Structure 1
Amino acid sequence: MKTAGVVVTYNRKEELVKNIRAILSQSYVVDRYYIIDNHSSDNTEQLLKEEGILDNQVIKYVYLKENIGGSGGFYTGLKMAYEDGYDFICLMDDDGRPADKNMMEILVKRAEELYSTNKLLLLNSLVCGSDDILSFGLNGGIKTKQIAAEREKDNLIVGTINPFNGTLVSKELVEKIGYPNKDFFIKGDEQDYYYRALKANAFVATVFDSNYYHPVLERKYFKVLGKTKKGSTEAPWKEYYRARNFTYMFKRDGEPIKYVRQNVRQILIAIKYNPKKIQTIKMILKGWKDGVCGRLGPTVKP
């Protein structure tokens, strides 16, 4: 079976080179590696040329005419790989990379084993930061590699993943649910793809012994309505896309209480902790409204 990889990048040329070097040094090297450059302005292409990366026949470098966001980048890369006939396609962001030389081989072999029983596959490497800490954590309170080891069965943790960080998609799943929603621009496109895969009865799992490195997501603790919660507060335009896209998803899936709870929480966090309080609150409310109305696309510029 033929396997491709896709990495989406924007102005992280040094991290991108680390990613590519790790991919090309795997015990199992993908047949094609699509680098989707989201209109970087840091001379990414020049560095790739200087490093000799673009001379490698495995590499397919695509420089987009404009920044279409992470969702647009993954839409483009997955679409290209699918249309080129690859059976398995592994999706990655530019700030992560395989943690060792066996990550891809273990992931692909497990996909081949599972393929005979369910061709709709969405498999993920275990995404690790430093030491024992998982970069994002998994559902069910799985925050460390030790807890993951206690929960895995046959090296699988079923039903929970960290897309798109070493995430393998089968061509049949693409045929069933399509591509990531390019109109999200940023925020939530990976979760949306995960939800759609679950609804399609795909086999979704984290492969415990396939390890992918990503810096640990930094989250702060905020006190909201007397309770301490772990979360984040970002630039107003990013808060807009978070509010809009998750509102859109939860409304579509008939779970309005989830987007109400999330948006109210982010507003309360902004009031107390965000230095740009008024602007942030306005952006969250605009995102909330646009999500309910289904108004997607790059509607707010950075």
Structure 2
Amino acid sequence: MEKCRVKALVVTRDRERLLARCLERLLNQSYPVEEILIIDNASSDGTQDLVSSLEGGRVAYHRLQSNQGGAAGYAAGLSELTQSDWQGWVWMMDDDAEPIQNALEELVRYIETNELRGCGALASAILTPGGIRDVTHRGWFNLSSLRQCPSPHDLYEKQDPFKVGYSSFVGLLLNTQAIRTVAMPRSDFFIWFDDVEYCLRLGEFYDIFVVPSSLVVHPNPLLDSSRRFSYGEFWKMYYDVRNTLIVGLEYGDSSAVWRYFLAIGLRRILGVVLFDDHKLSRIRILLRGWIDGLRNRTGKTLDPQAFVKRGA
């Protein structure tokens, strides 16, 4: 049987130290990656110098002219890796991901044995740096409520691969044939929900499986239910609301959008009123996300840097 060929895709911005750890883990996988393509969203730290010291071997580098967001970064990377007639698999992840040494080997094992027929993507299980299983990255998307429903812990404990309807891009291994069939992630989402939307398209043609024995360490501060977004990072909530609505209207119906508003939207506004500073500004951001989502207004419509400067 022909050896399974794998290239890794890492999207980064201004996280040189985390990227260095991610690259170290990728370069030392027990099943070697053929190439690591780094898409840099116009970093202003030492990222370029770090990558320059590694280029020429298995590391390739593509710097975008401006910060176009993680969604555009993944779209650019997948496009670059599938422009030629190269056939294989692309292992995607953020710059703060740290795959365990045999993570890729565990994924490839199921590809080479052909146990998972009709599979277009395999996903590693995610652990927090503290070793806690993070199930929020894999599951099913409920189009009636527009909510992500993570797969339960007991599926992981059985250690057998299981199907899901969505996966984040952290530790997702995509077949190039599937990529060419489904095309690229939506770069106009900027951040958040580009992975869910992509998996909804992918699921029309291929199955997505989670392999519990393949592990990737990745931090997720959102697991702390008591955590509140600081004002400086509240711009992310705009994209969360906007992109959720766009996905809901495209794949669901308008009634789901209003159920989402009653179940989630009003609760978020109440949370701002009770617990946060800059209350009026935060509420305006949420409402703007609703309006732009309903109008299908995409792109980098809220600039993070400008927002942070304005709030400083």
TM-score by length of 2: 0.83
> Secondary structure of the residue that 1:279 maps to in structure 2?
helix
CA–CA distance in structure 1, aligned partners of residues 115 and 184 of structure 2:
20
Residue 245 of structure 2 is matched in structure 1 by 247
**Structure 1 residues without counterparts, runs of 5 or longer:** 223-230
Are the aligned partners of 2:39 and 2:62 in contact in 1 as well (CA < 8 Å)?
yes
Residue 288 of structure 1 is matched in structure 2 by 290
- Residue type of the partner of 2:219? P
Q: Structure 1 residues 238-247 or 248-257, which shifts more?
A: 248-257
CA–CA distance in structure 2, aligned partners of residues 220 and 27 of structure 1:
33
Residue 123 of structure 1 is matched in structure 2 by 122
Aligned partner (choices 205, 209, 213) of residue 213 of structure 2: 209
Residue 95 of structure 1 is matched in structure 2 by 96
> Secondary structure of the residue that 2:36 maps to in structure 1?
strand
Q: Offset at 1:131? A: 4.9
Aligned partner (choices 9, 16, 19) of residue 19 of structure 2: 16
Per-residue Cα deviation, 1:5-37 (whole angstroms, up to 9, x for no partner): 100000000110111111111111111210001
CA–CA distance in structure 2, aligned partners of residues 68 and 299 of structure 1:
11
Residue 54 of structure 2 is matched in structure 1 by 53
Residue 301 of structure 1 is matched in structure 2 by 303
- Residue type of the partner of 1:159? V
Are the aligned partners of 2:120 and 2:206 in contact in 1 as well (CA < 8 Å)?
yes
Are the aligned partners of 1:8 and 1:92 in contact in 2 as well (CA < 8 Å)?
yes
Is residue 199 of structure 2 the alignment partner of residue 194 of structure 1? yes
Q: Offset at 1:130? A: 3.8
Q: Offset at 1:65? A: 0.6
Would the alpha carbon gap of residues 286 and 27 (structure 1) be closer, same or farther in structure 2, given more than 3 Å must change? same
Would the alpha carbon gap of residues 55 and 258 (structure 1) be closer, same or farther in structure 2, given more than 3 Å must change? farther
CA–CA distance in structure 1, aligned partners of residues 90 and 14 of structure 2:
23
CA–CA distance in structure 2, aligned partners of residues 90 and 181 of structure 1:
18
> Residues 86-165 of structure 1 correspond to what in structure 2 (within 5 A)?
86-99=87-100, 101-114=101-114, 117-118=117-118, 120-137=119-136, 138-139=138-139, 147-152=154-159, 155-159=160-164, 162-165=167-170
- Residue type of the partner of 2:91? C
Is residue 11 of structure 2 the alignment partner of residue 33 of structure 1? no
- Residue type of the partner of 2:11? V
- Residue type of the partner of 1:242? D
Q: Offset at 1:274? A: 2.3
CA RMSD of aligned residues (A): 2.3
- Residue type of the partner of 1:273? F
Would the alpha carbon gap of residues 103 and 283 (structure 1) be closer, same or farther in structure 2, given more than 3 Å must change? same
How many residues align? The count is 284
Are the aligned partners of 1:2 and 1:31 in contact in 2 as well (CA < 8 Å)?
yes
Residue 143 of structure 2 is matched in structure 1 by none
Are the aligned partners of 1:134 and 1:143 in contact in 2 as well (CA < 8 Å)?
no
CA–CA distance in structure 1, aligned partners of residues 70 and 216 of structure 2:
19
